[in-house]
Structure formats: C-alpha cells, structure tokens
C-alpha cells in the first residue's frame, strides 16, 4: 500500500492532467463528445501500457535500442513543438465531400501522440517509473506500483472527461482563442523539452570526459 501511494505521489505531479486538459480540448476541437471520450480513453490506455512496459523492462529497452533520457526529451520536444505549430498556424482545409470529411476524421487520432506520449507518459514520468523499479524487490512490489499507475490513470481519465464541459462554457470563439494560446504554450513546452535534452547531453559525464580528452590530445599535439 505504501509503495502504491508513493507511486501516485511521484507520478501525478509530473503527469499533471490539469495542464494536459486544455491541450486535450484544443487538439480535439471539432470532435463530438463521444469522439473526445474515445480519445481520452485510448490515451489513458496507451499511458498505462507505456509506463508498465518501462516499469518491467525499462532499463533493458533503453539499453537495447541505445536510448537515453535526454534523447527521449529531445524527441518528445520535437513532437510537441510540431503540434504547437500546427495549432498556431492551421492549414486551410480543401473542399471535401461529406464522405471524405468523415474518413479524414476517422484517420485523425491524437490519443497516442501527443496525448499519451509525450504529454502523459513523457520522459519525466518514464524516468520516475524506471526509478521505482529500485524499490521493488519481489513481484508483489511490482503489482503495487502497477496499482499506483492504474490509480493515476483513473484520475487522468476523470480530469480529461470533466474538461469537455468547458466547451459549452467557452463556446466556439472562446475555444478558437484557447487553441491559439495553448498552441503557443505547447510550442514553448516543446522547445523547453529540446533545451533540457540538449543540456542533459552536454552535461553528461561521458560528454564531459570526451571533451576533456579531446582538449588534452590537442595540447599534446601542439606541444
């Protein structure tokens, strides 16, 4: 029980569904209530799968593919920044028939990216989940952590579901304005992800050690 509560306390502030809710409304603009519920449900399921996968085999997955947390931050930042740019400068849609419009709406799925990754199950949440594996010494501990992840998922889903009520309050014009504002903020978040990733790479011990060795070799060559 303590480990499950610790998981909720560690993950919830990082995932922060209250900050994801406005973005969820903005990127699902024009969707019906049922479509928004489906996107929220799928995003939460994807989030659970990602976190549980990294909980069980996070270190192995990152070593196998040669991934690093700064690399995940940079990749996530590029994805988020792209979403922000599309929200700020939406493309003019060509004239479509009703059938073509319905087909394009079926293909537009934002549940995995940017909702599940990197908004909900981003580099921060993944790193915390991998860190929680150090507290698990048997399979009951892993089950407790998974229970904590499921509880966080329930909180996220409820928050996203309740956020759809804002549509009726804001109206169409208010939602358009919020889309522009959130697009700018999401672009800033994406850029910050990239900056954090670059700083992480630049400040890594391997990078510093390589730079020092290069400087030493240059001094030796000059002498």
First to last CA, the chain: 64
pLDDT of residue 217: 75
Q: Mean pLDDT by 10-residue block, N- to C-terminus, for the chain (223 residues)?
A: 85 79 78 85 93 83 74 74 74 49 54 82 80 79 92 92 72 67 75 83 74 74 67
- Rounded CA-CA distance 127/69 in Å is 7
pLDDT tens digits, one per residue of 141-198: 889 999 999 999 999 999 888 877 766 666 656 666 766 776 787 778 778 878 888 8
The span from the CA of 167 to the CA of 185, in Å, is 19
The total domain count for the chain is: 1
Cβ contact 197:74 at 8 Å = yes
Residues 65, 13, 180, 73, Cα dihedral to 10°: -20
Burial track 2-38 (b if 16+ CB lie within 10 A, e otherwise): ebbeebbebbbebbbbeebbbbbbbbbeebeeeebee
Q: How far apart are CA 179 and CA 164, in angstroms?
A: 14
Look up the domain containing 185 and give its range.
Answer: 1-221
Residues 6+ away with beta carbon under 8 Å from 188 = 84
3-state SS class at 135? helix
Residue pair 80/186 in contact (Cβ under 8 Å)? The answer is: yes
């Amino acid at each position: 029980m303590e480990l499950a509560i610790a998981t909720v306390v560690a993950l919830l502030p990082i995932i922060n569904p209250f900050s994801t809710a406005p973005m969820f409304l903005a990127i699902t603009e024009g969707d019906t209530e049922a479509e928004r519920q489906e996107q929220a449900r799928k995003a939460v399921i994807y989030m659970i799968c990602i976190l549980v996968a990294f909980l069980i085999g996070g270190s192995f997955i990152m070593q196998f593919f040669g991934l690093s947390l700064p690399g995940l931050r940079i990749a996530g930042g590029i994805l988020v920044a792209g979403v922000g740019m599309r929200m700020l400068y939406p493309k003019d849609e060509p004239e479509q028939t009703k059938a073509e419009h319905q087909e394009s709406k079926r293909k537009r799925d934002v549940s995995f990216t940017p909702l599940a990754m990197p908004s909900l199950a981003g580099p921060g949440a993944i790193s915390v989940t991998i860190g929680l594996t150090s507290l698990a010494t048997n399979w009951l501990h892993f089950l407790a952590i998974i229970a904590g992840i499921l509880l966080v998922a329930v909180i996220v889903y409820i928050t996203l579901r309740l956020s759809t009520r804002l549509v009726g309050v804001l109206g169409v014009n208010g939602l358009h304005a919020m889309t522009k504002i959130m697009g700018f903020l999401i672009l800033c978040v994406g850029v910050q992800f990239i900056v954090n990733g670059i700083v992480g790479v630049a400040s890594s011990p391997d990078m510093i050690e390589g730079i020092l060795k290069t400087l030493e070799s240059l001094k030796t060559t000059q002498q």
